[in-house]
Structure 1
Amino acid sequence: MNVGSISSDVIGIAALFFTINLAKRNAVVDVYKTKIYILASTITIIILSLEIMDIWGQSLQNVEHIWLYKLENVVGFLLTPVVPFVLLYLYNNDINNNKIFYSFPLLLNSVISIATYKTGWIFYFDQAAAYHRGSLFAIPIVIGFFYYILFMISILRNDSKYDRDDMLFLKYVFFMPVLGVSLQLQFIDFHIVWPSVALSLLLYYIFLRELQFKYDVISGIMNRKAFEREMEIYDNKDNVVAVVVLDLNDLKQINDSKGHHAGDKAILISATVLQESFEKIGKAYRIGGDEFCALCEGASEEDITESLIKLEKLLLEVNNIHDIKIELAYGCAFYIKEEDNSIYETFKCADRRMYEHKAKLKGLYGRRVDDMKRASYNQ
């Protein structure tokens, strides 16, 4: 009996039960991602349990139980691509629009896995109850890798949501199962794939928990602590950085007249508009009660202008939908290391321009977009 492999599987199961329990008690980043994480972890626990049963069964090599060994392996191979498929839902919003493309490989694997019980396509047991790989053994692995690659692409497409350290950590975390598969393909008795998946899920949970310290609870965008860390990084870099400071007008009046629930809603709407407006060129932060900022590395004046125009258009749209009227004052300045003392001085300049813009907005709600452009940073 491969005691080492069983021990690894047991540790993996214990770790996932622990993190599932924590995830149920504390929603990780958002409720949706928590549900996806719990589902992927639960499936992994089932596969790890089947692997323990399979290792134990093969050590006995009881010919009377061949049917049970085959059943365990059929279910295991059937579930193999399901974990990366489920993880796709963490970042890929396109799945429901392309159900055939995403679902067909999973369906194909299911058919082949179930048929293997009779055909021996993926695996088979000889008359002595010894396990052997079949001619289509690679199919579940290839399909699993297909979903895993799509999952990695989805992460890279969302890299603007994470800083450099986050992306590096994620790459290490999700490289572990790749290494596990490579080793197990070379050494048939080396059961390390699913323990490595369990470890990756555990580390990913820790990563999501850490993100909670970087994000603002009400707005859903990054908080002041993350902003200050990014400012410190940019202050020591040579790249041009656009600093856009924004302020939500009349938040106190919204709180006083409609309650703090309405005020929180106004903050959330403002943050959503800000993030959507600057998502292609920078990162959005909530840095105070009614204060926001966007940091845009390498952005040009044209980029900022286009983003501010988009912001104004989105504000018009949300104000036609919601009963709370959102108005954002903003100002922008560019940090150029060779010309400026520090990015903090640039921030002060952008902040002054924001207050100048705020003063111009008094009684001028519904102004033209061209006026917005001139008020933003050409002071």
Structure 2
Amino acid sequence: MQQKLISLAVAATVLVSGSALAQEVVRIGYVGPLSGQSAHLGTDTSNGARLAVEDLNAKGFRINGKAVKFVLQAEDDAADPKQATAAAQKLADAKVNGVIGHQTSGTSIPASRIYYNAGIPQISASATSPVYTHQKFNTTFRVVANDNKLGASLGDYAVKKLGAKKIAVIDDRTAYGQGLADEFAKGVRKSGGGVQIVAREFTNDKATDFSAIITSIRAKNPDLVFFGGMDSVGGPLVRQMKALGIKTKLAGGDGICTEAMPKLAGPTVGDEAIVCAEAGGVTAASQKKVDEFGARYKKRFGQDVQIYAAYSYDAVMTMAAAMADAKSADPKKYLPSLFKVSYQGNIGTVAFDQFGDIKDGALTLYTFKGGKKSLIEVIK
């Protein structure tokens, strides 16, 4: 009897072991700034991807009828292009099934060649430079609108809704900041009405002292200042603008459209002093889903969503949907399915055009009131 029990136990162990070996592991890479000035944004996006992986595993996601286990491999690029390519090569060498990231255009663009050469699909939840998806790499995708739309819409809004006539433009010389500022300037000029770009100034993404730039701009007496860059620079810039007597509004893109922006800008910045556009749009029909996601996110991670957690969540889910459609997690087999996929996510419908840009990309205009983001409108 004892021998029979031992034999049964051994047989059970073999079955369990064989089952575990049979379960395919799908590795999803994530890369973004998990350290440095933009770590709060990278952590936010990484958490969104992690929550998606946990949800896929919790519901026993299947590919071609077989349950698979998703694993997230997160890498830090510190928003630095050189570190980004090193992280990309690490994921390529690990033969991950797909990549979510990178956070910025300046890191997504150089990393994209590595993923293309390795045949690994890359979906960014936040990179907005048009260059990213227009390099003739069929592995690049994004779930947000690009800078062409964001800059043009902001420029049009600045002229027609804010009534700006004299605008100063500053950028941080990154691929994201400079590209957005250029598109904004184009949008301003297209809006007509005799609007002038009275100053075009440059800083860098590590700067802390803007006194020379602000003094130069102040002499031009602008009624709006536009900044292309991230909140870690934009916040101190606003703080110093107010200290040196420039009381006009600051406009910018998604880099300054974060929950951290009011704290970085300081308590002297009043309500509606900042207008920003987030490269993604949540319509009234999707708002309930986004709110529910935000509540789940806070319960899981103990903090509020910054900007793009819902977008990185949907990026993972879209990638998984393409794998399911292709009946394979092999990048070569599911890559064509990404161009056909239509996933109903938190942010609305995710579907891509021939370049990998999201179809019908929207953007959302915000201001800040009482230290919190306040919706102005969604633009399609």
Name the TM-score class by shorter chain: under 0.3
Bigger CA radius of gyration: 1
Q: Which has the higher strand share?
A: 2
Q: Which has the higher helix share?
A: 1
TM-score by length of 2: 0.23
TM-score by length of 1: 0.23
